[in-house]
Amino acid sequence: MVAITGTLIVQIAVFLALIWVLRRWLWGPLLGVMDERKKRIADGLAAAERGEHHLELADKRAREALREAKEQASEIIASAQRRADEIIDAAKVDAHTEGERIIVSARSEIEQQINLAREDLRRQVVALAIQGAERVLRREVDAAANEDVLEQLATQL
Amino acid sequence: MAGGGGESSSEYITHHLINWCIGCNPQTHAPSGLVDFSAFNLDVIIVSGFFAVGLAVFAWFMRRSWTAGTPGRVQYALEFIIEYINEQIQVTFPKANHYVGAMAITIFIWVFLMNAMDLIPVDLISSIAGGIGALFGVETVYFRHVPTATLDVPFAMAIVVFVLMVAYQFKANGPVGYVKRMLFHPYGKYGGPANILTTLIDDLSKPVSLALRLFGNMFAGELIFALLALLTFSALQSFSASVLWWAPTHFVTGVLWSLFDLLIAALQAFIFGVLTIVYLGMAQQAAEH
């Protein structure tokens, strides 16, 4: 009823065999699987952390780029403004000189016209004077003989 | 079978405590002495072998289906046990090789399954075995279906643990250290034979207590099932109570003790496994001189 029998030896053999079997097909594989899962989780966490870090970096970079772009844009606008001012100033100067030039040329033309008119007038006065003198003298004045007198008269007018 | 056919109460109980034995005394159906290596308990070998083979086949079929992804229920349950055992090993025994853990999980699952046989109705399997025996013309068939309620199964495991303990002590202390531990521990240089005696008791008490604790609990559990069956039937019968009385009484007491015995079955398997790790952990620590 209560005794140690030959069953003991059989049981030791069964026990050892079962340990070997479970070590090989249950304990070993499951432990491997658990270690692998542990590694996977650790990797996943590390990757997530890396991703977060990357995101932060990208965010910073994006902000930097935006700031730079804004700076550049305002710079461009400023330089364009400057350039426009320059162009306007130059145009003003050009217009001024052009106007002056036009005035000068108009003046000289007017003077020329005056001179021409004066010359014309002088000639007519000379002709009138000769006619008048002819009338007075009732004879022809020898224009050739009195040319120097007429010239002198013309210049005096 | 319970109390039936003119069988007396003590005959009923004794019938339950006799193994199906080959090489036993044909009259008493018992081994010739306390230690008799020519006798073999076939029922113990069949039931424990059934679970061992079942576990091996299960492990073999499942060996490739364990996944590092989301575990299924079975895998999760096993991982829970393995995780716990590993934790215990890490605490007491960080240098352990894989066989210590494998041994602990083998003990835990195998012993639990064998203990859980106690929950099968006490007369069911022996009745079936008796019926099969009757077909072959065998008059009385003895069949105990809880292998851990015999001395052989717990002692087989305890002896393996003990051998490993000695091996680890030897490895941790070296041959000289091992002898020194025997001679000078725990009373110092002048302790003499008292040292040897104490150390021997210290070492031997571990496997013996390990084995006897499991055996005692399971033997008692089995015995109480038989007693409950007997009490509810024969005691009420002697008060000429009808089947209307003893059937429900039997049912209630059986259920209550089953619930408690389930706890004992799990607890004893757990204790055996954890103490194995603890003892081996103690063994591999070099003794301080």
Which among A7, A18, A24 has the least Cβ separation from residue B44? A7
Residues of B in contact with A6 (CB under 8 A): 23, 36-40
Neighbouring C-alpha atoms within 13 Å toward the C-beta of A141 = 18
Scanning every residue of chain B, which has its alpha carbon at the shortest distance from the alpha carbon of A27? B102
- How many domains are there within chain B? 1
In a domain, B42, yes or no: yes
Please check whether residue A44 touches B, CB under 8 A.
no
pLDDT at position B287 is 61
pLDDT in tens, B201-238: 989 999 999 999 999 999 999 999 888 888 877 766 66
In a domain, B2, yes or no: no
Scanning every residue of chain A, which has its alpha carbon at the shortest distance from the alpha carbon of B42? A7
Helix (H, G, I), strand (E, B) or coil at A61: helix
Residues of B in contact with A31 (CB under 8 A): 82, 86, 98, 101
How far apart are the C-alpha atoms of B31 and B40, rounded to whole Å? Answer: 9
pLDDT in tens, A39-89: 999 999 999 999 999 999 999 999 999 999 999 999 999 999 999 999 999
pTM above 0.90, yes or no: no
The rounded percent of chain A whose pLDDT value lies above 90 is 70
Domain that holds residue B133: 9-288
Do the Cβ atoms of A18 and B99 come within 8 Å? no
Which among A8, A10, A27 has the least Cβ separation from residue B102? A27
In a domain, B4, yes or no: no
In a domain, B159, yes or no: yes
In a domain, B29, yes or no: yes
In a domain, B3, yes or no: no
Interface of A with B in 84-103 (CB under 8 A): none
In a domain, B40, yes or no: yes
In a domain, B1, yes or no: no
Residue B241: pLDDT band (50, 70, 90) is: low
